[in-house]
Amino acid sequence: MFPRFTYLIQVLRNVERSLINSIFHNPPKELALAYVHQRDTVIPSKKFSIKDIVGDGFLLAVPKFRRTIEKRLKRKYGSPEYVWKMLIPKTNIKVCHECGHYHEQGRLCEKCYKRVQEETRKIKNKIQEKIGNSRIEQDVIVLYEGESIPDQKRKENETHLSE
Ligand SMILES: [Zn+2]
């Protein structure tokens, strides 16, 4: 039924076109009919999919070309001209004067840094515990256990913090 109907429409269009062509020799400008040529939509029988080939499996990225031994070794161990990946003994190791641990020259001693960091955290917590979030308008002196307030500061000091 449907193909016949489209065929009928096609025939009617052809008749219309041939009539207009025979009468006016070309479509009149005033009574121009808009004609859009409709191509028959071709439905692809089946869309190609990679799934048809692979099925349940999966694809892996695989190298296309073989790498030479030189390139492989260069990637593995590096090269002195570019990046040398082999382990080199360090000669810039120093001993910390404070704690005796080893550290790299030009860098902070890790153990001392951790100690100071922990101490700072404790002091901060203690200050927050005593003063809270209110504004700090007076001098704050941090005292360690067994320490006393220096004499010149004793008069103006109001807040005592002790660990
Ligand atoms: Zn140290």
pLDDT at res. 158: 46
Chain-wide mean pLDDT for the chain?
83
- Ligand 1 mean position to 89 CA, how many Å? 22
CA atoms within 13 A on the CB side of 46: 5
- Ligand 1 mean position to 99 CA, how many Å? 4
pLDDT at res. 153: 59
CA atoms of 53 and 110, how far apart (whole Å) = 58
- Ligand 1 mean position to 163 CA, how many Å? 23
- Ligand 1 mean position to 73 CA, how many Å? 40
Sequence-distant (≥ 6) Cβ neighbours of residue 76 within 8 angstroms = 85
pLDDT in 10s for each residue of the chain, 163 residues: 567 888 889 989 988 888 888 787 765 566 666 777 777 777 767 788 878 888 888 888 899 999 999 999 999 999 988 899 999 899 999 999 999 999 999 999 999 999 999 999 999 998 888 888 888 788 888 888 888 877 665 554 445 555 5
Smallest CA-to-CA distance from 142 within 161, 126, 117 is with 161
Q: Where are the alpha helices (DSSP H) in 2-160?
A: 2-24, 50-54, 69-77, 110-131, 151-154
* Helix or strand (DSSP H, E) at 161: strand 159-162
pLDDT at res. 127: 86
**Cβ neighbours around 18 below 10 Å, total:** 10
- Ligand 1 mean position to 96 CA, how many Å? 5
Q: Side chain identity at 23, as an amino acid letter? A: I
Contact predicate 163/122, CB 8 Å: yes
